[in-house]
Structure formats: structure tokens, C-alpha cells
Amino acid sequence: MNLTLTTLGVSSASPMSDRYPSAHVLDVHGRLFLLDCGEGTQILMAKHRISHFKISDICISHLHGDRVFGLFGLLSTMSMKGRTAPVNIYAPSGMAAILDFYMKQFGEDICFGIRHIRTDYPDKTLIAESNNLEIWSFPLAHSLPCWGFLFKGKTRSNDFHQAIPKSFAYCCDTAPFSREAEYISGVDLLLHETTFASDMEEIALKTGHSTTHQAASAAKTAGVGKMVITHFSSRYHQPEILLEQVKEIFENAFLASEGKKFVI
Ligand SMILES: [Zn+2]
């Protein structure tokens, strides 16, 4: 089973003139998962020709604005374009009140179901499953309660010729913590935040983020196959410097940028 990650919004916190806040798309054999939904997500989707109709699932890591400010606009546009297929939203329990407000204020014409699946368990938990995929959430260490996601392909027991299932993990936002490597152990592709360069450990700790070296160490300890870095502070106009630092510890690393694809 093939997975393809398209990175879209790679900025931390606020939109910049050339970078948007967090939003990425994971294609699992034609089923599209939106990973976070920052301001401008639907503009990014239009620019990169990702159809609203193909997004069936939306994963929200936590309830900071840079992960959810694009959600109301996207859901409303889906409705205006005539969507009828339901949307699954995987998010912490607090999302229920946000969706309730949205439906009361703007949801009159929504003609598709919105199903909220909670993610906020104290340990790694299987939150959804289909015949070829498992979706797990696991707690991260951020300034607000935040959960990562793990996607694991499944082999059907009667299909001996199927390719080896692939796996993908998303860790954004998080400071380093002892169990991170265990949660993401051995994944084929890791999308991880590197908000700050290695000389900014103090502010990273204070704000619940990772430096380049901290994220790279987590990837190395976990034995992941490949790492993509994202969520760059606006102080780094050239995030290549962050990639160079990551590679000092974990060589097989790449920079997320708008519209870039990574086949897993
Ligand atoms: Zn955050």
C-alpha cells in the first residue's frame, strides 16, 4: 500500500507572505487525510489542485489557532460545492464545543455528516481502523494538550503477495519527551516540527517546541526511515539552515515546502 505526503503549510504560528500555517495531506491509497487545518488551508488546496471532495478525514493535533482557523472556511466551502459525503474529524475532546458553535452559527446549510473522533487519550491508542489501515494517536509535550498521529498500513492475512505495509507519523507540536521515540519507533516517514535552531533550546522548552537537534535525536533513537521537517519559526527566512543542523544528527532528512510530495 502506498502512502504519499504532500506538505502545504510549513510556517509556525502565523501566516507569512510566503508561508502558511500547518496543513498537510496524506494520501492513503486514494483516501485523503488533512493533517491540521491552519488559516489558508483551502487556498493551499486550490493552488495545488487538491479537491475538497477527496478529503474524507481531518486530523487536528491540538486546539491552537494555527491548527483550526482554516476549518470553518473549509467546511463551509465543502458545503457550498455540494458535498454530501461525511467528514471524520480526529481531534481532542475540546473540538466538540468548537463544532457545536460552528454548526449553530454557520451550519444551517451543511448537508454532510461531521463525525468527531476523539484523540485525547493518556497513552498511545488505536482511534480508527479499516481493512488496510490503523490510525493511532499518542500524547505529545506541548504548551497545550497535543496529540501526534501514527498511520500504519495493514496486511490482509490471505494476501501473501501484498507489498510490506508502510507507516507514517506526525509529531507537531512537541518538546522532546522520553517516550517519543517509543511512539514513533521504526516508522518509514516521520513529519516532525523543528520550530527552532539548535541554539534556541530555552525558548523551545518554554513554548513546548523542538529544536533541530532535539527532533533529529528523536528520529535517530526511534530508528525512523526518513524524516521531513516543518513548522519553521518566522525568524528563519531560509529554513535550509534548519535542515543542515538536523542532518548533523539524522542524515536522511528533508525540508517540507509548499506543494512538495514525499512518496513513502
Ligand atoms: Zn501549538
How do residues 190-238 score in pLDDT, each as one tens digit?
999 999 999 999 999 999 999 999 999 999 999 999 999 999 999 999 9
Please check whether residue 210 is in contact with residue 194, taking contact to mean a CB–CB distance below 8 angstroms. Answer: yes
How do residues 83-109 score in pLDDT, each as one tens digit?
999 999 999 999 999 999 999 999 988
Predicted local confidence at residue 246, as pLDDT = 98
Reported confidence tier of residue 79, pLDDT bands at 50, 70, 90: very high
Angle at 100 between CA 98 and CA 102, to 5 degrees: 70
pTM, 2 dp = 0.95
Who has greater pLDDT, 16 or 231?
231
Residue 129 maps to which CATH number? Answer: 3.60.15.10
Rounded distance from Cα 145 to ligand 1 centre (Å): 9
Rounded distance from Cα 62 to ligand 1 centre (Å): 7
Range of the domain at 154: 3-263
Reported confidence tier of residue 158, pLDDT bands at 50, 70, 90: low
Rounded distance from Cα 149 to ligand 1 centre (Å): 15
Predicted local confidence at residue 15, as pLDDT = 81
Q: How far, in whole angstroms, is CA 112 from its chain's centroid?
A: 24
Q: What is the DSSP letter of 139?
A: E
pLDDT at 1 over 80: no
Rounded distance from Cα 244 to ligand 1 centre (Å): 24
Predicted local confidence at residue 249, as pLDDT = 98
Domain count, the chain: 1
- 1-12: average pLDDT: 92
Quote the CA–CA distance of 123 and 1 in Å, as a whole number. Answer: 27
Our answer to whether residue 100 is catalytic in this structure is no
pLDDT > 70: percent of the chain: 96
Reported confidence tier of residue 163, pLDDT bands at 50, 70, 90: low
Q: Which of 66, 109, 159, 199 is catalytic?
A: 66
End-to-end CA, the chain: 9
Predicted local confidence at residue 154, as pLDDT = 87
Rounded distance from Cα 182 to ligand 1 centre (Å): 22
DSSP string, 36-93: ---TTHHHHHHHTT--GGGEEEEE----SHHHHTTHHHHHHHHHHTT--S-EEEEE-T
Q: Please give the single-letter amino acid code of residue 248.
A: E
How is the chain split among helix, strand and coil, in percent rounded to 5?
25, 30, 45
